Structure 1
Amino acid sequence: MTTATRSRTLGEVISREAALRPDQPAVVCAGRSLTYRELDRESTRTAEVLRAAGVVPGARVGYLGKEAVEYWELAFACARTGAVLVPVNWRLTSQEVDHILRDSTTQVLLVDEEHLPVAAEVRKGLPTLRTLLCLDADTPDAESLAARKDAVSAGTGPRKSGGREVPDDAESPVVQIYTSGTSGLPKGVVLPHRSFFNVAEAMDDNGLDWLDWKPGDRSLIGLPGFHIGGLSYAMQAFNAGVTVVSLPAFISSDAVRVIEEEKVTTGIVAPAMLELMLLEPAAARGALGSLRKIVYGGSPIGE
Structure 2
Amino acid sequence: MKDLLNFGEMLSVHARLAPNSLGTRDLDRSMTFGQWNDRACRLANALLGLGLAKGDRVAILAYNCVEWSEIFAATAKAGLVALPINFRLVGKEVEFIVNNAEAAAVIVQDELVGVVEEIRDALPVKADRFIHFGTRQCPAGYRDYEAFLSAGSARETNQHVALSDPWTLMYTSGTTGNPKGVVRSHRSAVLLSMVTEIELGLHRTDGALLVMPMCHANSLNFFGAFGYCGGVNSIYSRKSFDPEHAVKTLAEGGSTFTSLVPTHYIMMLGLPQATRAKYNFDAVTKLMISSAPARPETKREVMDMFPNSGLFELYGATETGWVTMLHPHEQFTKLGSVGRECVGAAPIKLLDEAGNEVPDGETGELYSCNAHTFDSYWRLPEKTAQAFRGDYCSVGDMARRDADGYIHLSDRKSNMIISGGENIYPSEVEALVGAHPLVKDVAVIGLPDDKWGESVHAVIVLHDGAALTEGELSAWSKERMAGFKRPRSYKFISEDEMPRNATGKVLHRELKKRFSD
TM over 0.5: yes
Match of 1:134 among 132, 135, 150: 132
Q: Which residue of 2 aligns with 1:101?
A: 98
Task: Return the letter of the residue paired with 2:269.
Answer: L
1:240 aligns with 2:225: no
- Given candidates 288, 294, 301, the residue that maps to 2:281 is 288
Q: Secondary structure at 1:197's aligned position in 2?
A: helix
Aligned to 2:183: 190
- Give 1:85 deviation, angstroms: 0.3
Which is richer in helix?
Answer: 1
Deviations 1:213-255 (Å, cap 9, x if unpaired)? 2342221112211111110111100001000111124512332
| Deviation (angstroms), 1:163 | 6.5
Partner secondary structure for residue 24 of structure 2: strand
User: For 1:165 and 1:193, how far apart are their aligned partners in 2?
Assistant: 17
1:231 maps to 220
Asked whether the equivalents of residues 47 and 81 of structure 1 are also in contact (C-alpha less than 8 Å), the reply is yes
Q: 1: CA distance between counterparts of 2:174 and 2:281? A: 35
Partners of 1:67 and 1:53 in 2: CA distance: 26
1:146 aligns with 2:146: yes
Is the radius of gyration larger for structure 1 or structure 2?
2
User: What residue number does 1:167 align with?
Assistant: 160
Q: Does the CA contact (< 8 Å) of 2:64 and 2:236 recur in 1?
A: yes
Structure 1, unpaired ranges of 5+: 1-5, 155-161
Give per-residue Cα distances to partners, 1:51-74, cap 9 Å, x unaligned. 121111010001101022111101
Matched ranges for 1:68-87 at <5 A: 68-87=65-84
**Secondary structure of residue in 1 paired with 2:220:** helix
1:216 corresponds to = 205
Shift of 1:168: 4.7
Q: Which protein has greater RCO, CA pairs closer than 8 Å, 6+ apart?
A: 1
- Cα distance in 2 for partners of 1:201, 1:217 equals 15
Alpha-carbon distance change, 183 to 276 in structure 1, aligned in 2, over 3 angstroms = farther
Asked if the contact 1:256–1:287 (Cα under 8 Å) also holds between the matched residues in 2, the reply is no
CA deviation vs aligned residue, 1:81-116 (integer Å, no higher than 9, x gap): 110000000000100000010001111111111001
In structure 2, what residue type is equivalent to 1:188?
A: G
Residue 293 of structure 1, CA deviation: 0.6
The 3 A distance-change label for structure 1 pair 275 and 287 is farther
Letter in 1 for 2:171: Y
User: Which one of 53, 56, 59 corresponds to residue 59 of structure 1?
Assistant: 56
CA, structure 1 residues 275+58, in 2 after alignment: closer, same or farther (shift >3 Å)? same
- Amino acid aligned to 2:20: D
Shift of 1:192: 0.1
Instruction: Tell me if structure 1 keeps the 8 A contact 2:40–2:74.
Output: yes
Aligned position for 2:35: 38
Aligned residues: 287
Give the Cα separation in 1 of the matches to 2:54 and 2:208: 31
Residues in 1 aligned to 2:113 and 2:43: alpha-carbon distance in whole angstroms: 19
Shift of 1:122: 1.7
Distance 1:200 1:296 in 2: 18
Matched-pair contact (CA < 8 Å) for 2:24–2:232: yes
Question: What is the aligned counterpart of 2:245 among 229, 254, 259?
Answer: 254
Higher relative strand content: 2
Q: Is the partner of 2:25 in helix, strand or coil?
A: strand
Q: Which runs of 5+ in 2 are unaligned?
A: 301-517
Compared with structure 1, are the counterparts of its residues 203 and 263 closer, same or farther at alpha carbon in structure 2 (3 Å cutoff)? closer
CA contact (8 A) 2:196 2:225 kept: no
Residues 99 and 129 of structure 1: CA distance in aligned 2, closer, same or farther (over 3 Å): farther
Deviations 1:10-66 (A, max 9, x none): 111111111121111111102210111011000001112101211110100011010
Q: Quick check: 1:63–1:88 contact (8 Å CA) kept in 2?
A: yes
Tell me which moved more, 106-115 or 277-286. 277-286
Q: CA deviation at 1:212?
A: 1.8
What code does the residue aligned with 1:89 have? N
CA 1:19 to 1:280, structure 2 compared with 1: closer, same or farther past 3 Å? farther
Tell me, yes or no, if the aligned pair for 2:194 and 2:225 is still in contact at 8 Å: no
Within-5 A mapping of 1:261-276: 261-276=252-267
> Contact 1:223–1:229 at 8 Å: present in 2 too?
yes
Call closer, same or farther: CA 1:39–1:284 in 2, change over 3 Å: same
| 8 Å CA contact 1:210, 1:295 repeated in 2 | no
Q: 1:239 to 1:277 in 2, by over 3 A?
A: same
Return the alpha-carbon distance in structure 1 between the equivalents of residues 131 and 68 of structure 2.
12
In structure 2, give the amino acid aligned to 1:72.
S
Once the two structures are superposed, residues 104-145 of structure 1 have per-residue CA deviations (whole angstroms, 9 ceiling, x without a partner) of: 111111111100111122212223354111112421242211
State the partner residue of 2:335: none
**Residue 394 (structure 2) aligns with:** none
Asked whether the equivalents of residues 47 and 77 of structure 1 are also in contact (C-alpha less than 8 Å), the reply is yes
